[in-house]
C-alpha cells in the first residue's frame, strides 16, 4: 500500500485539510502582523505538521513509540507558502496509525516514519505530565535563572511552543501550566489570552509559568 503520496486538492478530504490550514495561516499572520518586533518568525501550519480530522499535530523526534494500533486513514501535510507563489495548491497525504493505549486526539504515528511522534497541538510532550513524555529522543537543555520577562497576550500558535505578541516562547520540562487544561492534561488553545513568565536562554525565550491572563476590569 502506498503510504506517501501527493494528492491534488480536487478531492473533498484534501480540500477540507487545506481549508483548515488556511484558517490557521490566516489567524497566525493577522495576529502577528499588528504587533511590534518579533524575536522569531511565526510559521504557519506546514512542513512537519499534520492535519487529521481538523486537528493539528506537530512532530518531535522519539526513541520509540508504544505499539501501533489500528489504521486511522489519511492525514494531510500542508505545503508551505513561499515568498513568491504562496500556497501551491497541493498537500502531501500520509497514512496515520493510532498508538496502543493512547487517544488519537493526543498523539498519532505516521506509517513510514519511525523517527517521530506526532502530538496534538495545545498539549506539550515536553512536560513530564504528558503520558508520552518518556518517548522523546533527547531532553532539551533546561534554562535556569530568574524570570526576566512577562508577556500577556492572545495565543497565535501552539504546536510544541507558544507564539503570542509576535514572539515564540518555548516549553521545557520545568514549565508549569496553571489553570489551563483539557482532558486532565495541561492544554493551551489558540485564541486564549494568557500570561507567560519566561526566562531568556540565549536568543530564545523559555516559559516558566503559563496561566490565564488576568481579566480586564
CA-CA-CA-CA torsion sign (136, 91, 191, 29): positive
Q: Which domains does the chain have, with CATH numbers?
A: 4-135 (no CATH), 149-212 (2.40.50.320)
pTM: 0.74
> Model confidence over 73-118: pLDDT tens digits?
999 887 765 433 444 445 788 999 999 999 999 999 999 898 999 9
> Model confidence over 128-170: pLDDT tens digits?
999 999 999 877 666 777 778 999 999 999 999 999 999 999 9
Q: If we measure between CA atoms, which residue out of 174, 110, 128 comes closest to residue 147? A: 174
> Model confidence over 156-207: pLDDT tens digits?
999 999 999 999 999 999 999 999 999 999 999 999 999 999 999 888 899 9
CA-CA-CA-CA torsion sign (32, 9, 80, 4): positive
155 SS3 class: strand
Amino acid at each position: 500500500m502506498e503510504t506517501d503520496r501527493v494528492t491534488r486538492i480536487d478531492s473533498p478530504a484534501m480540500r477540507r485539510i487545506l481549508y483548515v490550514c488556511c484558517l490557521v495561516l490566516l489567524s497566525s499572520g493577522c495576529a502577528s502582523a499588528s504587533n511590534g518586533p518579533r524575536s522569531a518568525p511565526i510559521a504557519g501550519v506546514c512542513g512537519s505538521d499534520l492535519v487529521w480530522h481538523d486537528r493539528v499535530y506537530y512532530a518531535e523526534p522519539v526513541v520509540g513509540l508504544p505499539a501501533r494500533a489500528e489504521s486511522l486513514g489519511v492525514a494531510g501535510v500542508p505545503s508551505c507558502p513561499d515568498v513568491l507563489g504562496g500556497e501551491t495548491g497541493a498537500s502531501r497525504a500520509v497514512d496515520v496509525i493510532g498508538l496502543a493505549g493512547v487517544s488519537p486526539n493526543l498523539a498519532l504515528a505516521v506509517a513510514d516514519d519511525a523517527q517521530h511522534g506526532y502530538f496534538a497541538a495545545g498539549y506539550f510532550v515536553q512536560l513530564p505530565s504528558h503520558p508520552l513524555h518518556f518517548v522523546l529522543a533527547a531532553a532539551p537543555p533546561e534554562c535556569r535563572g530568574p524570570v526576566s520577562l512577562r508577556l500577556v497576550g492572545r495565543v497565535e500558535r501552539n504546536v510544541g511552543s507558544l507564539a503570542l505578541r509576535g514572539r515564540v516562547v518555548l516549553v521545557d520540562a520545568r514549565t508549569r501550566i496553571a489553570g489551563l487544561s483539557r482532558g486532565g492534561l495541561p492544554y493551551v488553545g489558540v485564541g486564549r489570552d494568557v500570561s507567560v513568565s519566561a526566562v531568556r536562554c540565549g536568543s530564545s525565550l523559555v516559559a516558566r509559568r503559563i496561566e490565564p491572563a488576568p481579566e480586564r476590569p
